[in-house]
């Protein structure tokens, strides 16, 4: 016999009963039994339940008795199967969510237990930070325990390096290759790198990421993210100056790496101007090379890398006058603010410059982008903050390229 052979079970009056039972199983699992409260029922539903259970229907129904009755009628092999036959299949999604939540809790607790065995008093706070950052998300308990063990290897290496009992300074990829199956295990953005960096901050202090790993004896690579430059005014009698001079003579921008800056001094050419234009976008340096621009240009390529910051620092130390221009958008103003704090002078980055650029775009019929992000302060010209907050129209540096490559005093 099937549900179709008992039309009273499929009648609209019984739908609230089956919905209540289905929702109970979805909340508590297919094996949930006990009593479930029934909604207000009409006389037809009460008669059907009385016939099915051989007793008057009350305010609740015993799920075990209901299951037995439905099985006796061959409606389904169990309560969930019977509900499916009655048009109320139990969704597996709530059960999956419960299982996922239980697995996530187990993973977090396993990680906390593993970190709790560490001797460092900061270990519990560290693993809590890892949990809050979502680093353990979608990982099993075994995987989180393995992650904690891998971070322990990194911490042990640091302890050995600082104590003089381990290997000397390494590149971070070298360290990863020594400790793990892949040299990329500690690459920026991996779960292990994120967790290990947090542990190192507890161990060594709240340092910049690059400085933190260098203090740990595992410096980041010194050749990627170089500074893009054109016609740097360096003494051609020095190694860096000779490389820059050769590049300039060939009409090519020169990439200055952190390794080069750490291995060779930056010496200003006494015959050259001290004025250097620093821009946010590499296209400006590229155009300067194409045009054989007579002035020096350094491009930060967005947020300045370690190599860019080190170069700017070295140039300031030898007396260079650094003027900065970036995009007129929230991110560009923030970069300008950070570089202003380290000694660069914002140039053509005033409210008047911004409004003139907006007006020029409108005259050209250009529909500018709108920037909804919070606007950072502009202490070098507070009126710029007010102007950009009012208009929020983005002016990218490339639109002003010709003006930027004119001499600074024009």
Q: What is the pLDDT of residues 337-365, one digit of tens each?
A: 999 999 999 999 999 999 999 999 999 99
Confidence band for 165, pLDDT divided at 50, 70 and 90: confident
DSSP string, 177-207: HHHSS-TTTTSTTSHHHHHHHHHHHHHH-S-
User: pLDDT value at position 3?
Assistant: 54
pLDDT digits (tens, 9 = 90+) for 225-254: 899 999 999 999 999 999 999 999 999 999
CB 114 within 8 A of CB 145: yes
3-state secondary structure 340-377: HHCCCEECCCCHHHHHHHHHHHHHCCCCCCECCCCCCC
CB 398 within 8 A of CB 366: no
Count of CB atoms situated within 10 Å of the CB of 39: 11
User: pLDDT value at position 211?
Assistant: 82
Beta-bridged to residue 278, according to DSSP, are 298, 324
Q: Single out the residue of 36, 50, 57, 42 nearest to residue 12, CA to CA.
A: 42
Q: Which two tokens stand for residue 389?
A: 């907050």
Q: Which helix (DSSP H) or strand (DSSP E) does residue 329 occupy?
A: none
Domain ranges of the chain: 3-91, 95-219, 227-404
Confidence band for 5, pLDDT divided at 50, 70 and 90: low
Q: Single out the residue of 293, 283, 296, 286 nearest to residue 244, CA to CA.
A: 296
The predicted model gives 71-85 an average pLDDT of 90
User: pLDDT value at position 119?
Assistant: 97
User: pLDDT value at position 58?
Assistant: 86
Name the CA radius of gyration of the chain, rounded: 34
Class of domain 227-404: alpha beta
User: pLDDT value at position 408?
Assistant: 54
The predicted model gives 161-165 an average pLDDT of 89
Q: Give me the chain's average pLDDT, please.
A: 93
Q: Single out the residue of 8, 74, 48 nearest to residue 82, CA to CA.
A: 74
Q: Single out the residue of 243, 265, 264 nearest to residue 253, CA to CA.
A: 243
pLDDT digits (tens, 9 = 90+) for 26-75: 888 888 899 999 998 899 999 999 989 988 888 899 999 999 999 989 89
Measured in whole angstroms, the distance separating CA 374 from the mean position of its chain's CA atoms is 19
The predicted model gives 9-31 an average pLDDT of 90
Q: Which helix (DSSP H) or strand (DSSP E) does residue 62 occupy?
A: strand 60-62
User: pLDDT value at position 22?
Assistant: 92
pTM above 0.85, yes or no: no
55 exposure class (CB count in 10 Å sphere: 0-12, 13-18, 19+): exposed
Using alpha carbons only, give the angle 239, 245, 251 rounded to the nearest 5 degrees: 140
Q: Which two tokens stand for residue 63?
A: 């799920």
Question: Phi first, then psi: what are they for 35, rounded to 5°?
Answer: -105, 145
């Amino acid at each position: 016999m099937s549900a179709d052979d008992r039309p009273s079970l499929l009648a609209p009056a019984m739908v609230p009963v089956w919905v209540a039972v289905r929702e109970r199983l979805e909340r508590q699992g297919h094996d949930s039994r006990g009593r479930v409260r029934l909604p207000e029922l009409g006389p037809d539903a009460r008669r059907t339940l009385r016939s099915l259970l051989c007793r008057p229907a009350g305010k609740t129904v015993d799920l075990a008795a209901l299951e037995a009755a439905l099985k006796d009628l061959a409606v389904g092999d169990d309560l969930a199967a019977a509900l499916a036959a009655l048009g109320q299949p139990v969704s597996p999604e709530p059960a999956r969510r419960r299982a996922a939540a239980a697995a996530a809790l187990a993973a977090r607790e396993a990680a906390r237990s593993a970190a709790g065995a560490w001797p460092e008093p900061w270990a519990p706070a560290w693993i809590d930070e890892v949990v809050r950052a979502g680093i353990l998300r979608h990982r099993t308990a075994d995987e989180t325990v393995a992650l904690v063990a891998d971070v322990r290897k990194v911490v042990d290496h640091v302890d050995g390096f600082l104590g003089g009992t381990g290997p000397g300074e390494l590149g971070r990829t070298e360290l990863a290759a020594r400790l793990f199956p892949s040299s990329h295990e500690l690459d920026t953005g991996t779960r292990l790198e994120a967790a290990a960096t947090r542990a190192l901050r507890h161990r060594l202090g709240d340092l910049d990421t690059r400085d933190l790993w260098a203090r740990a004896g595992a410096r980041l690579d010194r050749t990627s993210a170089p500074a893009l430059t054109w016609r740097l005014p360096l003494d051609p009698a020095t190694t860096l100056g000779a490389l820059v001079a050769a590049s300039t003579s060939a009409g090519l921008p020169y990439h200055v790496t952190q390794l080069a800056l750490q291995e060779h001094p930056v010496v200003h050419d006494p015959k050259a101007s001290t004025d250097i234009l620093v821009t946010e976008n590499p296209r400006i340096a590229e155009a300067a090379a194409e045009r054989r621009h007579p002035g020096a240009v350094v491009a930060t390529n967005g947020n300045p890398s370690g190599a860019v910051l080190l170069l700017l620092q070295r140039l300031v130390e030898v007396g260079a006058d650094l003027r900065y221009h970036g995009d007129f958008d929230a991110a560009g103003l923030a970069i300008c603010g950070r570089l202003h704090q380290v000694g660069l002078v914002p140039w053509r980055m005033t409210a008047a410059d911004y409004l003139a650029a907006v007006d020029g775009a409108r005259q050209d019929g250009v529909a500018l982008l709108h920037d909804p992000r919070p606007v950072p302060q502009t202490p070098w010209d507070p009126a710029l903050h007010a102007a950009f907050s009012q208009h929020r129209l983005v002016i990218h540096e490339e639109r002003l390229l010709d003006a930027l490559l004119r001499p600074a005093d024009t």
